[in-house]
Amino acid sequence: MTKMDKIGPRHVAIIMDGNGRWAQQRGRPRLVGHHAGAKRVREIVEACPDVGVKYLTIFAFSTENWKRTQTEVAGLMRLFRRYIEREARALLQEGVRVRFIGDRMKLDDKLVSLMDNLELLTSTNDKVHLTIALNYGGRDEVTRAAQRLAFEIEQGRLTHKDVDAETLAKFLDTQFLPDPDLVIRTSGEARISNFLLWQSAYAEYEFLDTLWPDFTSDEFKTVIGAYGTRDRRYGAVLA
Ligand code: FPP
């Protein structure tokens, strides 16, 4: 197990933080930082096959981000719509399968339909699996999973004895994903901010000072390379 892990992480998850500060440092509105951040997404997705990363999961909008100003929230939602419209063709051609996690109920219909279409359009791709967390929160995800599980029990399709970690994981938004091996957070904050709480139980963490819009594919590759030197024990003592 350790030997294989040393080759590199198969699933990398990223908390893309620091867009606002990047813009502020330049005396620009926060949304300018988000636009610069969106450009980086393409560069990092394209770098994945070079370093053997098959699954990339990025935190685009959290369940807590609604607390930002109305201008910023509306600007981000517009950015997500434009991102999907503009990037769909390139993502399809580059073999990227895109999926979204998070609660879609609170998102506007136009955005949800773009998300659905992109998932469908790229559904037969297999080169890189890009998962975008949008209106996602780890506690919210586990809560929604528990509700669905409770409903299955109520309907008599499951009993309480069926509830174990494996079954619960099947009710999570990430049911189609392996657990992340490495979680990266940019911008100097050492917090996980409700991202993939269940799934990251054994993940390695890398906290970087770089602000997200400055995060290059070279730095990404360096981080992935450094991961290869770590031993992961999954709680066990290895000989
Ligand atoms: C955190 O920076 C970033 C966000 C809340 C939004 C992340 C979104 C993008 C990178 C835009 C593109 C994404 C896609 C999928 C198109 P912050 O605003 O919290 O920065 P700060 O901590 O410096 O204020």
Report yes or no: 136 and 59 within 8 Å, Cβ to Cβ. Answer: yes
Report yes or no: 35 and 202 within 8 Å, Cβ to Cβ. Answer: no
Q: What percent of the chain has pLDDT over 90?
A: 92
Report the separation in Å between the CA atom of 142 and the middle of ligand 1, taken as the mean of its atom positions: 23
**pLDDT tens column, 205-221:** 999 999 999 999 999 99
Alpha helices in 51-137 (DSSP H): 70-93, 109-121
Q: Residue 12, class by beta-carbon neighbours within 10 Å (0-12 exposed, 13-18 middle, 19+ buried)?
A: buried
Q: Does the pLDDT of residue 237 top 70, yes or no?
A: no
Phi, psi torsion values for 238, nearest 5 degrees = -100, 145
Query: For residues 122 and 6, which has the higher predicted lDDT (pLDDT)?
Result: 122
When pLDDT is averaged across residues 235-239 and rounded to a whole number, the result is 64
Model pLDDT, residue 238: 59
Is residue 17 lining ligand 1, measured as CB closer than 6 Å? Answer: yes
Is residue 65 lining ligand 1, measured as CB closer than 6 Å? Answer: yes
Is residue 19 lining ligand 1, measured as CB closer than 6 Å? Answer: yes
Q: Does the pLDDT of residue 5 top 70, yes or no?
A: no
Beta strand ranges found along the chain (DSSP E): 11-15, 55-62, 96-101, 128-136, 182-185, 204-207
Residue nearest to atom 6 of ligand 1 (CA): 60
Residue nearest to atom 5 of ligand 1 (CA): 61
Model pLDDT, residue 3: 43
The reported pTM is 0.94
Among residues 5, 17, 173, 181, the one annotated as catalytic is: 17
Report the separation in Å between the CA atom of 34 and the middle of ligand 1, taken as the mean of its atom positions: 5
Is residue 132 lining ligand 1, measured as CB closer than 6 Å? Answer: yes
Phi, psi torsion values for 223, nearest 5 degrees = -65, -40
Model pLDDT, residue 239: 53
Q: How many CA atoms lie within 13 A of 40 on its CB side?
A: 26
Model pLDDT, residue 7: 74
Quote the tokens at residue 91. 């993502």
**Which region among 7-16, 28-37, 71-80, 228-237 has the lowest average model confidence (pLDDT)?**
228-237
When pLDDT is averaged across residues 130-143 and rounded to a whole number, the result is 98
11-227: which CATH number, 3.30.70.3280, 3.40.1180.10, 3.90.180.10, 3.40.50.2300? 3.40.1180.10
Mean pLDDT rounded to a whole number for the chain: 95
Phi, psi torsion values for 144, nearest 5 degrees = -65, -35
Sign of CA dihedral 140, 107, 86, 172: positive
Among residues 5, 19, 50, 65, the one annotated as catalytic is: 65
Give the C-alpha separation, 236 to 239, whole Å. Answer: 10
Report the separation in Å between the CA atom of 186 and the middle of ligand 1, taken as the mean of its atom positions: 10
Is residue 44 lining ligand 1, measured as CB closer than 6 Å? Answer: no
* Nearest atom, ligand 1, residue 24 CA: 23
Give the C-alpha separation, 10 to 208, whole Å. Answer: 20
Which DSSP state fits 52?
A: T
Is residue 21 lining ligand 1, measured as CB closer than 6 Å? Answer: yes
When pLDDT is averaged across residues 105-109 and rounded to a whole number, the result is 97
When pLDDT is averaged across residues 224-235 and rounded to a whole number, the result is 77
Q: Does the pLDDT of residue 236 top 90, yes or no?
A: no
Model pLDDT, residue 233: 64
**pLDDT tens column, 141-159:** 999 999 999 999 999 999 9
214 counts as catalytic? no
**Residue boundaries of the structural domains of the chain:** 11-227
117 counts as catalytic? no
Give the C-alpha separation, 192 to 195, whole Å. Answer: 6
**pLDDT tens column, 9-67:** 999 999 999 999 999 999 999 999 999 999 999 999 999 999 999 999 999 999 999 99
